[in-house]
Amino acid sequence: MTSTDRPTTERRDSGDGGEQTRPHPREMFIRLLFDTVRQDPFPSGTQLDLIEESIPAAMVPEYVELLIEKSREGCFPSTDVLRRIQRMSATGGPAPGC
C-alpha cells in the first residue's frame, strides 16, 4: 500500500461504546493547505508541492477543482497552476517522483 492509497479516515472509540470517524492526520494537513491556497490570491508553489506530495487519490478531483477556481480568479492565470491542473488531471495524481 502506497502513501496515496492509505485510508483518509480513522476510527476511534467515542467513550460511550460507539465509534467516531475522524479525518486521517494527512487529510487534515491537506485540508489546512487547501484553505490557505483558497485564501491566497497567489498560492505558494511550495504549498502546492506539499499538497501534491501528500494527496491521496480520492482528494485529487477536489484539488484540481481548487486549482481551476484559482486560475479563473485573474485575467492571466499562472502557467504553473495551469501545468499542475494538466498534470494532476491527466494522471489522476502527482507524477512519479513528486
45 three-class SS:
helix
Q: Name the residue ranges covered by the structural domains of the chain.
A: 26-91
Residues pairing with 9 in the sheet = 23
CA 70-76-78 angle, 5° bins: 55
pLDDT in tens, the chain (98 residues): 344 444 555 555 556 666 678 889 999 999 999 999 999 988 999 999 999 999 999 999 999 999 999 999 988 999 999 999 999 998 666 655 54
d(CA 79, CA 85): 10
Q: Copy the grid coordinates of residue 63.
A: 484539488
| 58, 8 Cβ separation under 8 angstroms | yes
